Amino acid sequence: MWYWLFIKEKTNQFIVLSDEQLDQENRWILIRDDYELISDSFRSVKDAEEYAKTWYRATKLKLETMPVTLKSAGEFVNQHHRHHKSPQGHKFSVALSDGDLMVGVVIAGRPVSRHHDDGYTLEITRCCVKEIYKNGISKLYSSVCQIAKAMGYKKVITYTLVEEPGNSLRASGFNLERVSNGGSWDSLARKRIDKHPTGKKNLWLRKIS
């Protein structure tokens, strides 16, 4: 297996990816985000990292959270989310940055279901991160929980499609509560066009202590 080294000149940070990790989509994301391919022929991650540190004095990519408005977060979701559009409102949003560009966002607000809207439950209504930076999702989830605790919330919930594994949620202290039946918001009394998947979803919950 070969390893690829990319460096971003503006931040002087590097990222190392294996052949398996670097599909066509991820490569184009890095190119658009101004990462330059230095070499595609390292035999190990260690060799690639030592080369970046020795010859470029570069540091390993570190993703950081930053404040963001709903407008900016919503624009990011509308551009990059695979199956959802931005929600209409929020309590707060948090962005993920590579030190130069916004590479992900999380939006938190009132629970969509009135059964959970007790004043002490916060729902993560959108989480959207560019594919190549997916290891930063846990940082966004943890950030939301820290803010929720400071605001006095007791629980944070969110939904994922049943086919999504939820590894980042588990890593952030969430537990799978149950499987929701899903369904459409459309009804005879109130006609709506569904702009989201209507299949079964997993409900995740983290209690804030």
pLDDT digits (tens, 9 = 90+) for 107-152: 999 999 888 999 999 999 999 999 999 999 999 999 999 999 999 9
What pLDDT score does 198 carry? Answer: 54
What pLDDT score does 164 carry? Answer: 86
56 within 8 A of 14, measured Cβ to Cβ: yes
pLDDT, mean of residues 5-29? 96
Q: Which residues contact 118 (CB under 8 A, 6 or more apart)?
A: none
In the predicted structure, residue 5 carries a pLDDT above the cut 50: yes
Q: 60 or 115: whose pLDDT is higher? A: 60
pLDDT digits (tens, 9 = 90+) for 161-199: 988 889 999 999 999 998 977 544 444 555 444 455 556
3-state secondary structure the chain: CCEEEEEECCCCEEEEEECCCCCHHHHHHHHHCCEEEEEEEECCHHHHHHHHHHHCCCEECCCEEEECCHHHHHHHHHHHCCCCCCCCCCCEEEEEECCCCEEEEEEEECCCCCCCCCCCEEEEEEEEECHHHHHHHHHHHHHHHHHHHHHCCCEEEEEEECCCCCHHHHHCCCEEEEEECCCCCCCCCCCCCCCCCCCCEEEEEEECC
% residues pLDDT > 90 (the chain): 79
Going by pLDDT thresholds of 50, 70 and 90, the confidence category of residue 209 is confident
What pLDDT score does 83 carry? Answer: 73
pLDDT, averaged across the chain? 91
Q: What domains are defined for the chain?
A: 3-60 (no CATH), 64-207 (3.40.630.30)
What pLDDT score does 197 carry? Answer: 54
Tokens of residue 83, six digits = 């199956």
Nearest by Cα to 91 from 53, 125, 46: 125
Say what the pTM is. 0.87
pLDDT digits (tens, 9 = 90+) for 29-47: 999 999 999 999 999 999 9
